[in-house]
Amino acid sequence: MILSHLLHLEGIESIVVESRSREWVEARVRAGVLEQGPVDLLNATGLGERMRREGLVHEGISLHFNGLQRRIDFRELTGRAITVYGQQEVVKDVIQARLGAGGQIVFEAEDVSVDDPASATPKIRFRLDGEPREIACDLIGGCDGFHGICRPSIPEGVLTIYEREYPFGWLGILAESKPPSHELIYANHERGFALASMRAPRISRLYLQCAVDEPLENWPDERVWDELHTRLSAGGPVELEVGRVLQKSVTPMRSFVAYPMQYANLFLAGDAAHIVPPTGAKGMNLAIADVHLLSRAMARFFKNGSRELLDKYSDACSWRVWRAQHFSWWMTSMLHRFWGEFAAFDFKRQLAELEYVSGSPFASRALAENYSGFPLE
């Protein structure tokens, strides 16, 4: 949706093809942290009015571990901040903007496929209300997520896949509960990781490290709240308000990169090209950074026929993708319990690392710089 909006601002026509309904995509709860760069981009392109009004600006995070509560002050260390504003809220804003400008969005498309992306006019085929449809394209932006159809449409042997799976997942809940802190809490506890976030002043988003194949029935609400209270108190007492659980799910953890992020006239962006563990809050931000570069490359192509930026798209994205992969892996490895032969050693090592990261201004600045994000190019 943001790619379509950015192209519209350049006077370039696009069609968004979506398999789900508008109601579904606007309601699905996903990421909620925006770096300074994406916030500036949304504001500069006319999408930031509601975000400025309703978004929660955070100037730091708290690390809870070993009886300590340490704050990392982003503003003091980097001059930047983050904004907590749910991905579904960004989706609502950009859909409204595109439809208000006469943009073309096809919802509830079925049997979507990409045909011959190497041709001069690749096609997207789908069914709508039972009728076959076809779009002849100049370029295709594959912004359809990890399980989408665009990456599998690239011929075998073109992509190199870099991947790592983690032996745990996140049990996440959305609850009617006042957040326990005005900023995010990252907790390292001997029982496992926990995170306290928020979506609104009275809506909390809370996570617990759990087994990757954990059945939800093993986690009744009472157990979830008890475990959250225990783990979030790793640095001392935390006031956690118990409220009605609105959503509950388990998300596996993985690191994934497909390179290159393009094949002929098909260009991958966001989760279609890369997945990061959510510990570093990078997923939505990487996707926005991708389409920022892709929109510029497409605009150059349509204005003067030059493929220079299109040809450099994968490499232009690569440094940020791998920086985010490293940061997300580092945060994950520092905060989660790894069970097995070296569990006791790893736990003590993590506590020492957290002590250093939160106690050294140089180490704190590295965390703050990566978390608040680098400027968009």
The burial class, CB within 10 Å (0-12 / 13-18 / 19+), for 217 is: exposed
Encode burial over 333-362: b for 16+ CB neighbours within 10 A, e otherwise: bbbbbeeeeeeeebbeebbebbbebbeeee
Long-range contacts of 132-140 (CB under 8 A, 24+ apart): 133/106, 133/109, 135/15, 135/17, 137/265, 138/265, 138/301, 138/302, 139/265, 139/266, 139/267, 139/298, 139/301, 139/310, 140/114, 140/265, 140/266, 140/267
Q: Could you give phi then psi for residue 190, rounded to 5 degrees? A: -60, -20
CA distance 87 to 91: 6
Query: What string of DSSP letters covers 115-152?
Result: E-TTSSS-EEEEEETTEEEEEE-S-EEE-S-TTSSTGG
**Count of beta carbons in the 10 Å neighbourhood of residue 211:** 14
Q: What value, to the nearest 5°, has the Cα angle with vertex 87 and ends 85 and 90?
A: 80
Polymer length of the chain: 377
Pairing relationship of beta strands 274-275 and 104-106 according to DSSP bridges = unpaired
State both tokens at 377. 């190019």
Please list the active-site residues: 58, 186, 278, 282, 371
Question: Which residue in 12, 241, 39 sits closest to 104, CA to CA?
Answer: 12
CA distance 95 to 88: 10
Encode burial over 265-291: b for 16+ CB neighbours within 10 A, e otherwise: bbbbbbbbbbbbbbbbbbbbbbbbbbb
